[in-house]
A = this chain, B = another copy of it.
Amino acid sequence: MNNFTFVKGGSVTSPLGFVAGGVCASIKPSNTTKRDLAMIYCECPCQAAAIFTRNLVKSDTIYVTREHLQNGVAQAVIVNSGNANACNPDGYEKAAAMCRLAAEALDVDENDVIVASTGVIGQALPIEPIAKGVDALKGKLTKEGGTDAAEAIMTTDTVRKEWAVQLTLGGKTVTIGGIAKGSGMIHINMGTTLSFVTTDAAISADMLHEALVEAADVSYNMVSVDGDTSTNDTLAIMASGLAGNTPVTEKNADYRAFTEALTAALKAVAKKLASDGEGASRLVICQVSGAKDEPTAKVIAKSVICSSLVKAAMFGADANCGRILCAIGYSGAEVDVKKIDVSYRSAKGEILVCKDGCGLAFDEDKAKEILLEKEIDILVSLADGDGTAEAYGCDLTYDYVKINGDYRT
């Protein structure tokens, strides 16, 4: 039984203590309408942690944020879209300048500011629009501003990603909320670009870090849109402690309840990221069961949703089982090919297309009906143990090509 509930209309400002806002700062000069600069602020210093992209080429925002989180404390976030501030000679100075601007406007220590950027790589970040945007946001961060902040971090996203969950820790109601962006350049190693999570739970920075790693492992680390790992991926969390629960400082029952709720929330976000993948028309979830262990199940689930051929077949609603078997075969996982079953499932039903590693003749009309739905499960059963895993992806469409054929203009 779940220990948590999703909060309707929840956002990064749902937890006690947090306000946020977003404005159009025209960081890309051509953008004069879409919000592209956001700040999140907490009325008190927070315990905080973050995990980052594993790409060797990193935005300087990551180096700055990492330094600022060394003491496990943060009080504000400043983040822009429209420019990734990556691969720039003055990237570090610009990232630090963003923190100073936020710190001055919010009257917090600049070392307590988390900074992030997303957008084009290798173009100088203009700091003037950011300074003006911070001015415009000053004094105007609100409880309702989570939605504007969620919009401000979007790039090719077509929908805002914001959420909150609630749980009870030692009789106290605790809320966790967040915003996220991500549509392209999404891959299994934290390929979510930017996510900011807040909570009013009392929990130490160390435990926040552990919880993030655990939750990301089965959510953000299991989602792929195009196999490209961003240079800017940042998943940060800040805990105000205002819920008044007994502080979580070790891996006790409260830690597990908190992490369970966080995991469920980030899994839901992972699905949103995949279904809003660049050009995607379908969410594709690969559920693997019966693997000899969980790592094996994960490797297979990820290989299936990452396959360009599987993704193109899903776009065409083509129940091609060869694509699935092929992707399992080259995943590197140890499996007994002769025990693989594959089914497709959606709201319209379920159909078995492969039994014991061999393709079956099946009702093509039924299969088409199932695969024309918006959310498709690819079920892989291995009869080899009790390892399970779930990975989140999307189809490969003309629009993905269109969006990325000329991303910069």
Interface of A toward B, CB cutoff 8 Å: 54-58, 84, 86-89, 120-123, 184-185, 187, 189, 226-231, 306-309, 312-313, 315-318, 320-323, 325-331, 333, 335, 337, 353-354, 356-360, 396-398, 400-409
Contact = CB atoms under 8 A, between A and B. Distances in A.
Contacts of A56: 328-331, 333, 335, 337
Nearest to A187: B330
A309 B185 contact: yes
Copies of this protein chain in the complex:
2
A54 B398 CA distance: 30
Given A56-B335, A87-B321, 20 more contacts: A56-B331, A86-B322, A86-B325, A120-B320, A121-B320, A121-B322, A122-B354, A228-B327, A229-B329, A230-B326, A231-B322, A231-B325, A308-B308, A309-B404, A312-B404, A313-B407, A320-B407, A397-B401, A398-B398, A401-B401
Contact of A57 (B309, B357, B360, B397): B357
A354 B354 CA distance: 48
B87 A231 contact: no
A120 B361 CA distance: 13
Contact of A358 (B58, B122, B312, B328): B122
Given A318-B406, A358-B88, A358-B89, A325 B226 contact: no
Nearest to A355: B89
B57 A337 contact: yes
Contacts of A404: 308-309, 312-313, 316, 396
A356 B357 CA distance: 50
A87 B322 contact: yes
Q: Is the interface of A mostly helix, strand, loop or mixed?
A: loop
A75 to B, nearest CB: 31
Minimum-distance CB pairs A-B, first 5? A122-B359, A121-B322, A57-B329, A316-B405, A312-B404
A400 B397 CA distance: 9
A123 B353 CA distance: 11
Most buried by B among A86, A315, A401: A401
A145 B384 CA distance: 48
Given A185-B309, A228-B309, A330-B56, A318 B359 contact: no
Given A88-B358, A358-B122, A359-B122, A231 B326 contact: yes
Given A322-B87, A329-B56, A312 B354 contact: no
A408 B318 contact: yes
Nearest to A88: B358
Given A56-B329, A328-B57, A405 B318 contact: yes
A401 B402 CA distance: 11
Contacts of A187: 330
A364 to B, nearest CB: 9
B313 A405 contact: yes
